[in-house]
Amino acid sequence: MRLQKILSSYGVSSRREAERLILGGRVLVNGIIAKTGQSAHPGIDEITVDGVPLDTKNDHIYIMLNKPRGYLSTVRDDRGRKTVMELLKEVECRVFPVGRLDMNSEGLLLFTNDGEFANAVMHPSHNIHKTYEVRVRGDIHKAAGALNKPVEIDEYTVHASKVELIQATPDGGSLIISIAEGRNRQVRKMCAACGLTVTALKRISVGRLELGDLENGKWRFLTEKEVQSIG
């Protein structure tokens, strides 16, 4: 089995992050620095990440965090900035974020040690919609119409599955926007392409899973029913 899939399956990271770990020389197989595309056998080969042996007996867990602004959605940051992992210090086993919210965004962020679950949530082919509350500046009436049509960003054509005008103010207002593609900073870029400046962005749902009244900066475990609803 390829190392990327092994690390994902045993909850070390997503497959994409696993590739970065390998490229960074942080994964060893039988004491030798691993290479991308390399295969190994869990339980037979000794696999370590940052010197920590792979736990092949790790049970899967699933967590929802209400991410505050000012935190990076990553396991670590070489520049010493705050990461979401600082908010999960009470979680005893290793988990990783499922997707990302940029530093200035907040709201629902999932964590797991189940790589297959993470891939199912993130991959566009599974069509799991993410919904955001977005506060903006600009001509919101004109932009709402434009956002309901295909939008070009980063040489890609993207589509919002839902755009709802919640409130209009003299200088902007607020919208509900749902997407399925999940490209980097997609909602912000879509708004910018339609003449809006995002002043606040909060993810309120992933699939059928809603943030609800979970306090800012707090987390909780998902129920089995919730996991099945979006996995």
Mean pLDDT over all residues of the chain? 91
CATH at 30 = 3.10.290.10
User: Residues 116, 160: one domain?
Assistant: no
Cα–Cα distance, 178 to 157 (Å, whole number): 15
* Exposed e or buried b per residue across 100-114, where buried means at least 16 C-beta atoms within 10 angstroms of its C-beta: bbebebbbbbbbbbb
Contact call for residues 183 and 190 (beta carbons, < 8 A): no
Catalytic residue, from 102, 114, 154, 213: name it: 102
pTM > 0.95: no
| Same domain for 103 and 148 | no
* One domain for residues 43 and 73: no
> pLDDT digits over 106-130, tens only?
999 999 988 888 888 888 778 899 9
Q: Tokens 């070009």: give the residue.
A: 152
Query: Distance between CA 37 and CA 41 in Å, rounded?
Result: 13
**Residue pLDDT, tens place only, 6-34:** 887 776 777 788 888 999 999 999 999 99
- The pLDDT, as a whole number, for residue 181 is 85
Domain of 142, in residue numbers: 129-206
Q: In the chain, how many domains are there?
A: 3
pLDDT for 76 equals 87
Query: Above 70 in pLDDT, residue 56?
Result: no
CB–CB of 118/126 below 8 Å? Answer: no
CATH number of the domain residue 88 falls in: 3.30.70.580
What would the pLDDT profile of 130-167 be if each residue is shown by its tens digit? Answer: 999 999 999 999 999 999 999 999 888 999 999 999 99
When pLDDT is cut at 50, 70 and 90, the band that residue 81 belongs to is very high
Concerning whether 102 is annotated as a catalytic residue, the answer is yes
| 224, 231 contact by CB (below 8 A) | no
